[in-house]
Amino acid sequence: MANVKCSIPKGTRDFLPAEMARRNYIFDTIRSVFRSFAFEPIETPSLENLSTLMGKYGEEGDKLLFKVLNSGDFMEGVDFNEDYHKVAPRICDRGLRYDLTVPFARFVVQHRDQVVFPFRRYQLQPVWRADRPQKGRYREFYQCDADMIGSTSLLNELELVQMIDTVFSKLGINVTVKINNRKVLAGIAEMIGAPEKMVDITVAIDKLDKIGLDNVRTELAERGLTAEQITALDPVFSLNGTAEEKMAALEQLFSNVETGKKGTEELKELFGYISSANVKCDVELDLTLARGLNYYTGAIFEVKAQNVQIGSICGGGRYDNLTGIFGMPDVSGVGISFGADRIYDVLTELQAFPEGLEQAARVMFINFGPTEQAACIGIAARLRAEGIATLIYPDAAKMKKQMDFANRKQVPYVAFVGESEMKDGTVTIKNMADGSQKTVSVEEMTKLLK
């Protein structure tokens, strides 16, 4: 048999034990904060019906959906001279989920009689996008989502900001939370006389940080805006100052634009809540923030790590009628998604992971042979019952080999049970950090290791 090259698809990764320990640190931190705000866990399938996913993420998002070929003779009757987008629905009726929000909307509608509204859910699962892999951008990655659905109160938005603040404070990452409102963006489109170009404007503006203002103007022109309409956007691009000063300027801009007025009022209410909540992280009003997903209708959020050149590490927003496309109208929701993979990259660059995460075992017993091994089994069972991660080296190998293993696995303590220890009912324990060792009872050893 020919040798098969070992590889995985671009944009995906294997994770070694040390990497998984760090990832679980991130997941556990986020999960603990979700729980502290009374969110409940759910899971949804990796595969969704393509009809559930298509048309929810905008034209560009639809292109990034991984579509799964139907089983059976799916090629029968297919004319491959046809446009791909006409052929695809006939040969693919399922796809890998692009995010967790649209499947959550489907979940809410499907299980409407089993959940209590307002419903607060969290979900930590992988998603897939047929994107071009690059630093901080993968084809398979985890999202950590929290959503409230069934309430229009802006207190929900405040709690999302508080959760962002708490998570990144616990992780030791300094962040800036950028906030805008899609009604403000809709008001801008209306103000310049191009309400029908709302999606084109938001898609282009959303790229401002990546491609710069001149290229955004070029893209707006390519999307059909006139030179006068593009020039009319300049006051928005040039707005600066505090959040309060920007909102005061918006009130003047939107004196005759009701949608923009409503968005500005919501921003004022939300920033008032944030001010009274004593949030520690930096929060700013960014009028160029658009977030490209079509389903957002109100407040939108994006979180950037300070001192690290990487894309957003958390984002989300308000969606007023996402469940309506599944037959359950007028149910408003709001949520955020933490990008665990980008957070991992930030913590790695900042060297901010706590020490000791990689330690699988707290203590390892040296194996001297069958008799001593039998004594270690009983002691190890007692330690594990106390929640202490314990390892017995599986073979009576040379001492050097066993100690080298303990060093490589970063085991902080090594335990010895020889003839004298078995006779006295004791254990000799060695601190691998400073080389000190002492002989103690099992009870004393348990207290030491805890």
* pLDDT exceeds cutoff 90 at 184: yes
> How many whole angstroms separate alpha carbon 267 and alpha carbon 235?
19
296, 198 in Cβ contact below 8 A? no
Q: In the predicted model, is pLDDT for residue 143 greater than 90?
A: yes
What is the rounded distance in angstroms from the CA atom of residue 419 to the CA atom of residue 396?
Answer: 15
pLDDT tens per residue across span 199-249: 788 778 778 777 888 898 898 899 988 998 988 888 777 778 899 999 999
Percentage of residues in the chain having pLDDT higher than 90: 68
Residue 442 and residue 417: Cα distance in Å, rounded?
11
Q: Tokens standing for 115? A: 């959940």
In 3D space, the residue among 341, 321, 340, 317 whose CA is nearest the CA of residue 329 turns out to be 321
> Domain boundaries in the chain?
17-48+97-350, 49-96, 363-449
Residue 252 is inside which H or E element, if any? helix 243-253
Which tokens in the block code for residue 161? 């900001």
State residue 402's pLDDT score.
98
State the Cα–Cα distance between residues 113 and 108, nearest whole angstrom. 9
The values of phi and psi at residue 9, to 5°, are -60, 150
Position 136 confidence tier, pLDDT thresholds 50, 70, 90: low
Query: pTM score > 0.95 for this model?
Result: no
Mean pLDDT in residue range 24-30: 98
Give the pLDDT score at 196.
87
Check if the beta carbon of residue 167 is closer than 8 Å to that of residue 349: no
Q: Cα separations (Å) of 270 from 68, 200, 274, 314?
A: 42, 27, 6, 18
* Strands (E) located in 240-389: 282-285, 299-305, 314-319, 333-339, 363-365
Lookup: tokens for 18: 């040390």
Q: Indicate if the pLDDT at residue 169 is higher than 60.
A: yes
Question: Which stretches of 6-63 are assigned E, i.e. beta strand?
Answer: 40-41, 47-49
Run of H or E residues at 103: helix 101-110
Q: What is the CATH number of domain 363-449?
A: 3.40.50.800
318 closest CA partner among 186, 170, 169, 204: 186
- pLDDT tens track for 339-362: 998 999 999 999 999 988 988 999
Residue 409 exposed, middle or buried by CB count within 10 Å (0-12, 13-18, 19+)? middle
Backbone angles phi, psi at 302, to 5 degrees: -150, 140
Compute the Cα dihedral for 11, 14, 16, 20 and give only its sign. Answer: positive
Residue 393: its pLDDT value, please? 98
| pLDDT band at 3; cut points 50, 70, 90 | confident
pLDDT band at 1 (very low <50, low <70, confident <90, very high): low
User: Which of these ranges, 6-15, 58-67, 107-116, 422-431, has the smallest mean pLDDT?
Assistant: 58-67
Report the C-alpha gap between 414 and 25 in whole angstroms: 25
**Residue 373 tokens, joined:** 């091994």
DSSP state of 134: B
pLDDT, tens digit, 9 for 90 and up, residues 41-96: 999 999 999 989 988 887 778 889 998 887 766 666 666 666 655 666 667 789 99
Superfamily per CATH, domain 17-48+97-350? Bira Bifunctional Protein; Domain 2 (3.30.930.10)
Provide the pLDDT for residue 331: 93
Backbone angles phi, psi at 295, to 5 degrees: -80, -10
- What is the predicted pLDDT for the residue at 85? 59
Tally: H helices and E strands in the chain: 18, 16
pLDDT, one tens digit per residue, over 249-307 is: 999 989 999 999 999 999 999 999 999 999 999 999 998 888 866 788 999 999 999 98
List the single range of 81-95, 101-115, 194-208, 314-328 with lowest mean pLDDT.
81-95
**Strand arrangement, sheet containing 40-41:** 40-41, 119-128, 140-149, 333-339, 314-319, 299-305, 175-181, 282-285
Does residue 377 register a pLDDT over 80? yes
Q: What is the pLDDT of residue 74?
A: 66
